[in-house]
Structure 1
Amino acid sequence: MSVTVRPLAAQDRARWDVLYKGYADFYGVPQTPEMRDKVFGWLMDPDHTSAGLVAVDETGTLIGLTHYRPFASPLRAIDNCFLDDLFVDPAQRGSGAAEALIEGVAEVARQRGWGVVRWITADDNYRGRGVYDKVAKRTMWVTYDLNPDG
């Protein structure tokens, strides 16, 4: 199968919605259509920091998505890239779409002079981690979440 990566476009909305709902379901995160409306709005807003890429098969069908954004690294005095979301249609896993999407974000990072592309995943995401272990270096950092409202 041939996979092409390109920027997310307005006409991708319906299929993006299906894929992004699948992503939320995979992680067990309750999500409403209104939440997806908000995220898609961010991705279509050229002034918002979040952006997206999609993987398309040879028929033009969207089979995967990723979202990314810059973040500052004050200690190194550089901008980096955070890969927020990565999802491939379960029927298309093994197609190379995940690797192509990661490489697409890496290309954006190279073009913009960002120092590193960073992402997190669930410890039990074994299939995803198998891909990530091939294309990136696992770090020693442990992630914490603090809810500011207590």
Structure 2
Amino acid sequence: MTDLIVRDLQRSDRDEWDSLYRGYANFYQVEQTSVMRDTVWSWLHDGRKEPRGLVAERANGTLVGLAHYRPFARPLSATTGCYLDDVFVSPDARGTGAADALINRVRAIAQQENWSVVRWITAETNYRGRAVYDRLATKTNWVTYDIKI
């Protein structure tokens, strides 16, 4: 997509970010309230919290994608890695290169920060997203477990 830029999330992006993040939650069938989005939004603008945000923006100013990422400690390698928590592109912008642009910007940031890896998870059934991820990264052999609290 030639009319696309990836930039840091700004406070003026709130309404469009909110719509994109609702779309992301809906994609994964996660119930999410406005209070939950308020919390995430506050984290993204609080320098004491880890999450950072990027958006993909068309030349006309419309936001079509988002990415949230954060550093994480990697004790075994004594390095810091980058965890890509969320990547979402609006359905009307899929296939335009927006996901690639967001992930590549996170990769560039990780290189600038001297982080050792960019890591993320996705649903097994996210076939379209996985096609992008398979081009940009290496699927690991790690299995993920959760303990619900």
TM-score by length of 1: 0.97
**Is 1:34 aligned to residue 35 of structure 2?**
yes
- Tell me the distance in 1 between the aligned counterparts of 2:136 and 2:58: 21
Residue equivalent to 1:61:
62
Residue equivalent to 1:116:
117
Equivalenced residue count is 148
Aligned-residue offset at 1:3: 1.2
- Partner secondary structure for residue 81 of structure 2: strand
Residue equivalent to 2:130:
129
Note the 1:1-150 alignment, pairs <5 A. Answer: 1=1, 2-148=3-149
- Partner secondary structure for residue 53 of structure 1: strand
Aligned-residue offset at 1:107: 1.0
RMSD: 0.7
Query: Residue 54 of structure 2 aligns to which amino acid in structure 1?
Result: L
Q: Which runs of 4+ in 1 moved over 3 A?
A: none
Determine what percentage of the aligned residue pairs are the same residue.
57
Query: Residue 60 of structure 1 aligns to which amino acid in structure 2?
Result: G
TM-score by length of 2: 0.98
- Tell me the distance in 1 between the aligned counterparts of 2:81 and 2:55: 21
Deviation digits for residues 55-98 of structure 1 (CA, Å, limit 9, x no counterpart): 00121110000000011000000000000000000000011000
Aligned-residue offset at 1:113: 0.6
* Alignment gaps of 5+ in structure 2: none
- Tell me the distance in 2 between the aligned counterparts of 1:10 and 1:67: 15
- Tell me the distance in 2 between the aligned counterparts of 1:46 and 1:71: 15
8 Å contact 1:3–1:95 — kept in the other structure? no
